[in-house]
Each structure stands twice: as C-alpha cells, then as structure tokens.
Copies of this chain bind each other. A is one copy, B any other.
C-alpha cells in the first residue's frame, strides 16, 4: 500500500459501503415522440459508451432501468449518469419533450431486508455534476422511513423533509411547494444534484431514505 493509498483509506468516511447500503435508483425515460424506442435505447447505449456506467450496475426491464452503485462516490456516479442519460434522450427526441421518473433509494438493500440497526452511515460530499445546458422543471418528494429502532427513530419525518426543502431553497433550485411535492427549476444538472444531495443528507441520520422525482425537459408549456 502506498502512502497516498493509505491516506485515502484513512480519510474515507467510516461505515457501510454503497453496496451494503443498497444505494441506487430506478428510473424510466418517456420521450414524447413516435420513435420513442430509439430515444430510450439510444440514450442508454450512448451514456454507456461514454463510460458513465463505471462503478454502476444497470438492468433495464419493461418498465424502467435499475442502477445500483457498487463503488464510491455512489451519489456522484448516479447524479452524473442520470443527468447525462436524460440529456441524451432529449437530444434524440424530435419534439424535444422528455420526462424521466426517478426513484433514489438507500438503506434498504435486497428486496425487504431493511436493517434498522445499520451503523456507520456515510457522509457523502455534495455531488458535482457538469451543467447540462438544458432547463428542467421537476416535482420532488422525499421520504425518510423512520422506525422505532432506527438511529433517528424518535424523530419526526416531516422535520427532516422541511429542513431538506429549506436547504434546496437556499440553493435557488427549489421554489413553489405543490401538494405532495416541491417544484425544482433550473439546469438539469442542478435539479438532479439538489435532489441527490438532499436524499444523501437525510441518509446521514436515517438509514432508509427514498426520494422520487418527475423531471420534465422541453415541455411546450414552458417554451
């Protein structure tokens, strides 16, 4: 082990790995055009060819694509991949209108093996995602799944949500609250980063956290 390697290991946040925590997402792409198959499969392939699936495991089924993070920096890999694939799909869509629905999950690996006794929750750095040059509008919901036995089990899930929305507002990305969701508005990369960072931040206190995002690009209602 080199000195540099040793230093990195010591500096790394203690605790569970991305795989042990089940950090990943499930997303679907909805190109609003007749030739939607190409605008979905072409975008998935393009982003794979660009190397953005490094450190990720992907699996596409008839409804959506699962993306699991196998190595750190898990959140950044997911944020960059998602931004790139949605931008690529929009470029391939003649009408320009594509919507992605995204579920980000952490703390519940496997189907139902949710372990409230997990210790050493990581403290990931904020993600850095290059600007996409594409405006996006999203509706975003965050779900801290508290249990009596979890580290933050004595708390209130709403307080965790309110704090996260206030941090998103301070970034200038979150704006109007709507029923059941908060509106995010900005460059696609900022919209994705805001949701990913909020989800990761709550994950420092609660093991199982899920966030859902409906991200719209190129809607005629916004032109």
Contact = CB atoms under 8 A, between A and B. Distances in A.
Interface stretch (A9-17, A27-35, A122-130, A195-203): A27-35
> How many copies make up the complex?
2
A167 interface: no
A161 interface: yes
Interface residues of A, number: 64
Interface in A43-99: 61-64, 66, 68, 94-95, 97, 99
11 contacts: A26-B178, A31-B32, A62-B137, A63-B99, A63-B219, A105-B179, A111-B177, A143-B143, A147-B156, A148-B148, A149-B156
Given A24-B180, A63-B139, A64-B214, 8 more contacts: A26-B180, A32-B32, A36-B95, A63-B214, A146-B147, A146-B148, A147-B158, A148-B154
